[in-house]
Structure 1
Amino acid sequence: MSTLTDALRQAAAAGLDRLDAQMLLLHALGRSPHGRAWLIAHDSDPLPAEAAARWTGLLQRRQQGEPVAYLLGEKEFAGLTLRVDARVLVPRPDTEVLVEWALDALPPPGGGAPRLLDLGTGSGAIALSVASRRPDAQVTATDASADALAVARTNAHTLNLPVRFAQGAWLTPVAGERFHVIASNPPYIAEGDPHLTALTHEPISALTAGPDGLDDIRQIATQAPGALCPGGWLLLEHGHDQAAAVRALLVAQGFQDVGSRTDLSGIERCSGGRWPGAR
């Protein structure tokens, strides 16, 4: 009978990342994917037949490019465990930069409930992260996909976080409302980009936005001024080489204090601007 070490050697021979393999093996064993210390301590244990069958299936799916988060059914993001599946994009660590900026841009506690809007919420990662850190905030999240909103609502229920969800394209579901911060991680990959071949398991509608990848960002930048409080902020995640173009769009729309923030790799990952006026 194969041991746990044998299973990990099999994964290594198949080209899997060691951490990914350990998390998947733990999942096959019915254990928490965070139990790597247990796995190391029990590396000579036999791999039970039922777990071996699950392991083989997971290994094959991973070799075919399916994200580890989909195989596990969850992803850690900003200290939260989010349920994810093929209906939503897998939350990326880079998006935590956008969350931190949104938290910085919200009015400080004590002056009434600040209002934040998350456009294209997907799994709910941005909205739920803000709600968990600013319980005084009124957080709203929209998405055009009913399937995505079902995932986000499940996460909100599981985490017991009071986010309001609405279905529709960008700001359409919240017409007439005003927010202190509008944050979005919209589709920003150009149609035909070669990187899309590595993302075939994720929903394409949440990835691409026109020939240059900026179609949705243009739409949001055009619509956002009518939904921002005076002095409110629009914050956008974008591609690694799009910061200058996004800043130019914001300036052209009349935003002030336009700038960008970098991710952990030093890449300008988010850009934003403040709508004129005092709060």
Structure 2
Amino acid sequence: MTEQNPVDNRRASSATDAGASASGDVALLRARAIDALGRAGIENPDVDAELLIGHVLGLSRGQVQAKAITGSLVSIADAAVIGSAVERRAGREPLQHITGTAPFRALELSVGPGVFVPRPETETVAQYAIDALAAVGGGTPIGVDLGTGSGAIALAMATEVPHAMVHAVENSADAFVWATRNFERLGGDNARLVFGDLAGAFPELDALVDVVISNPPYIPLGAIPRDPEVRLFDPEQALYGGADGLDVVHSVSTTARRLLHEGGALVIEHGELQGAAISALLVSDGWNAIATHRDLLGRDRATTALR
């Protein structure tokens, strides 16, 4: 798999008026971009416009805003690249695919086609695993991320609990390319990535792990994601979890029970309507202290349990 150019200069000449196809100042390009993205249904067109302009010009959002106020000029070449980027975003291609990066907690991850783009709500879910890992007394705590995708959760755990050892597994070849890139750039000696099936992962760690976390595919097959960015660009393997969305959750529960020692913690991210079903599944599998947690918008987002 080859890395996609975050902004394809070859498409620059096709940028339309809506994306700013000629030179101008930052204020004009920003206004055109906001208009184009707003008409395309982008929820926060000003944010995306400033991020795209900043990506091309090597500026932060604040610097883009400052240059818009001062009327700073942009070259014809840069204006064309900005126009191309805006055109792609107006087509509902994820912002992160265009820039090639996605923020996650303190990390800046490389992402693109073939890997699930980490979401802000997962940052809160990761906190449960980070807190549990950091609370382990003595020695080197062990964490496992089942289905790591881009490596977001595993790398957050490894960097924020540096005395821990974190193991991650991914079974998608496309996603593994991105995870490998992120582990090489952001991971240290305490982060290990392997390619393989979740069910058979890390037999050498049976009954030794302190924390297992997973953000598995949990969308039921009959449910169609509302956002085009998800529906059209996120890999299906990272989205759909069988008829009820819980096929992979069953596997996570079984694998986590094998890996965790008694008293070890499990953290699972899930959809807002799945808390009760996942709690029932975990009760059936013999887990203890099961609790469902809400995200910042008050929606059920994660369930935790103890081995």
Shorter-chain TM-score bucket reads: over 0.9
Deviations 1:36-58 (A, max 9, x none): 22212211122211111211211
- Offset at residue 109 of structure 1 (A): 5.4
- Could you tell me the percent identity over the aligned residues? 36
Structure 1 213/141 Cα, relative in aligned 2: closer, same or farther at 3 Å? Answer: same
The 3-state SS of whatever aligns with 2:301 is strand
Q: Is 1:265 aligned with 2:265?
A: no
Q: TM-score, normalised by structure 2?
A: 0.84
- Structure 2: distance between partners of 1:88 and 1:118: 16
Deviations 1:186-207 (A, max 9, x none): 0011113121662111111101
Deviations 1:171-216 (A, max 9, x none): 3131242311110000011113121662111111101111121111
Q: Is 1:8 aligned with 2:40?
A: no
Q: Who is 2:72 aligned against?
A: 45
- Offset at residue 110 of structure 1 (A): 4.9
- Offset at residue 168 of structure 1 (A): 1.3
Q: Who is 2:179 aligned against?
A: 152
Contact kept in structure 2, 1:119 and 1:171, CA below 8 Å: no
Q: Who is 1:96 aligned against?
A: 123
Which of 29, 51, 61 matches 1:36? 61
- Offset at residue 112 of structure 1 (A): 1.1
Q: Who is 2:97 aligned against?
A: 70
Deviations 1:51-86 (A, max 9, x none): 112112111111111111111111111111111111
Q: Who is 1:170 aligned against?
A: 198
Pairs within 5 Å for 1:55-66: 55-66=82-93
Structure 1 171/196 Cα, relative in aligned 2: closer, same or farther at 3 Å? Answer: farther
The 3-state SS of whatever aligns with 2:74 is coil
Contact kept in structure 1, 2:158 and 2:187, CA below 8 Å: no
- Structure 2: distance between partners of 1:147 and 1:244: 32
Contact kept in structure 1, 2:101 and 2:109, CA below 8 Å: yes
- Structure 2: distance between partners of 1:156 and 1:209: 26
Q: Who is 2:248 aligned against?
A: 216
- Structure 2: distance between partners of 1:42 and 1:223: 53
Gaps of 5+ in 1: none
Contact kept in structure 2, 1:118 and 1:126, CA below 8 Å: yes
The 3-state SS of whatever aligns with 2:280 is helix
- Offset at residue 225 of structure 1 (A): 1.1
Contact kept in structure 1, 2:159 and 2:187, CA below 8 Å: no
Gaps of 5+ in 2: 1-22
Give the aligned residue type for 1:161: G
Q: Who is 2:5 aligned against?
A: none
- Structure 2: distance between partners of 1:138 and 1:214: 28
